[in-house]
Amino acid sequence: MAYSDLREFIKQLDKAGELKRITVEVDPILEMAEIADRVSKLGKGTAKAGGPALLFENVKGYPKARVLMNQFGSEARMKLALDVTSLDGIADRIRTLLHPVMPTSMMDKLKMLPMLAEVGSFFPKVIAARDAACKQVIHKGEDVNLLELPILKTWPQDGGRFITLPCVITRDPKSGKRNVGMYRMQVYDGKTTGMHWQRQKVAAEHMRDRLREAMPDLASRVDLMAMTAGGTAAATSIDGMDAQVMTKLRGDRMEVAVAIGTDPAITFSAIVPAPPEVEEYLIAGFLRQKPVELVKAETVDLEVPAHAEYILEGYVQLGELRTEGPFGDHTGFYTMQDEYPVFHLTAITHRKDPIYAATVVGKPPMEDAWMGKAVERIFLPLMQLTLPEIVDVNLPAEGVFHNLMIVSIRKSYAGHARKVMSGIWAMGQAMFTKCVIVVDEDCDVQDVAEVTLRVANNIDPERDIQFTLGPVDSLDHASRLPNFGSKMGIDATRKWAAEGFTRQWPPMLVMDTSVVAKVDAIWKKLGIE
């Protein structure tokens, strides 16, 4: 049964023994983050890794507030969040949709009807405002005060408090398609925040399209990329514009809504690398096996999750940027200051006694590592749709998602590993992968020790490592330029004569199966363990 809201999920966490209620007074400034960081690293490397979810019920300075953290911070909780016994089970459902058995008879066609009806049931539906829990309390205009929320500061050198688990909702000005993304938001004051959507993100593209719509001749005059996601070029682009153009530009806006504390499927859908044509609300419906209920926002023309704990409504003003950061990020380093759009609030609606959902990112393993692992398993079929030779992938937590991908393939021809590297770098958000390691299909990519053995033994560094230039993640502090740098591919597959390897490739050590079976049978009698 899908969770209708965050509260149902919290009840399930409590029932499963996965929730710890914190009744001691804790400060949202640094203290909550320190507790969550310690808990996320409990049991590291064991089946109990990740500690419990945390519900802070005594928040310093906010007597009526509760804060939920680490809700996704273990394999067990990710399964609970998505209501599955195995994350690979969702991947199997995706494969069924991507590769349905083609009907050859009328009976086969009839058998497909339930599956088609099921897919149709995933589409979101809009409900009346009176039935939407997120509208139990409504603040507009001068009543809007973001400082009344228990927003966290997570690391000492952070530029301020940050909303760290927001579902940011925008609409494509051309197609009308809605997007739900997750972009951190630095709180400037009670009515404004930063909007950290990096230049490659969908919301940033929506803003660029809105700029093109507002001023069709603008694209030939300024760096639209910079104007929607910061950097030195942004200041140069804006400073170089005359006052008349800036007045016209800033007279236009793009509406934005933000949901905080949604049911887990919606929150998770905000981070998945969805195909551009597919709305995240539909993905959430697929994950929950039940449509997402939406409601019209109060002050913007957007539909928002009806049962969220908080909804923030407002707009970004075209051409307006403000310094954002630093921010202690999931790389384990601070992301330094840069220029980003400003979000102006026009309304805050929320449930009675709302629960504020937050996370802290930093040196792995942390909560986001488990979310990333779920993305890896669930979207493997989509990678295989483009690159069917892929057997499995692993995004190790220590690689912080975009720095390392390990891939096993069914190698069929000379240079096949390099073809796969190129395919990955051409695939959506995977283009940011700094290092791709390719191994043969008989290597378990989830076993990093086995991968290390293969790489260390199977490569001739000069021959098997290749470098290329291209876009890199905005958080990459080591790249030669912001958003542009090099990537590395390592071909750790067995080398063929067709690839110029003329020596004999040695077999790996494997014990005879009959001997293994015989020792298995007498193992307990040996009294070794």
Who's near 243: CB < 8 A, 6+ residues apart?
none
Are the C-beta atoms of 264 and 84 separated by less than 8 Å?
A: no
Tell me how many helices (H) and strands (E) the chain has.
17, 23
Amino acid at 299: T
Other C-beta atoms lying within 10 Å of the C-beta of residue 470 = 12
Instruction: Give the strand pairing for 435-440 and 404-409.
Output: parallel
What is d(CA 2, CA 9) in angstroms, rounded to the nearest whole number? 9
Q: Which of 37, 158, 329, 491 is catalytic?
A: 329
φ, ψ of residue 280 to 5 degrees: the values are -65, -30
What is d(CA 516, CA 510) in angstroms, rounded to the nearest whole number? 10
Are the C-beta atoms of 182 and 203 separated by less than 8 Å?
A: no
The verdict on whether 172 is a catalytic residue reads no
Q: How many residues does the chain have?
A: 529
Are the C-beta atoms of 488 and 467 separated by less than 8 Å?
A: yes
- End-to-end CA separation in angstroms for the chain: 43
Residue 153 has what DSSP assignment?
B
User: In Å, what is the CA distance from 348 to each residue of 159, 196, 299, 439?
Assistant: 23, 20, 10, 50
Who's near 352: CB < 8 A, 6+ residues apart?
136, 137
User: In Å, what is the CA distance from 413 to each residue of 31, 408, 409, 510?
Assistant: 55, 15, 11, 25
Q: Kindly write down the DSSP assignment for every residue of 209-259, as one continuous string.
A: HHHHHH-TTGGGTS-HHHHHH-SHHHHHHHHTS-HHHHHHHTT-EEEEEEE
Among 404, 431, 231, 393, smallest CA distance to 331 is for: 404
What is d(CA 280, CA 201) in angstroms, rounded to the nearest whole number? 14
Are the C-beta atoms of 371 and 77 separated by less than 8 Å?
A: no
Structural element, H or E, at residue 323: strand 310-324
Task: Give SS3 for 448.
Answer: helix
What is d(CA 147, CA 163) in angstroms, rounded to the nearest whole number? 11
Instruction: Give the strand pairing for 66-69 and 355-357.
Output: parallel
Among 210, 213, 218, smallest CA distance to 242 is for: 218
What is d(CA 314, CA 418) in angstroms, rounded to the nearest whole number? 46
| Residues identified as active-site | 329
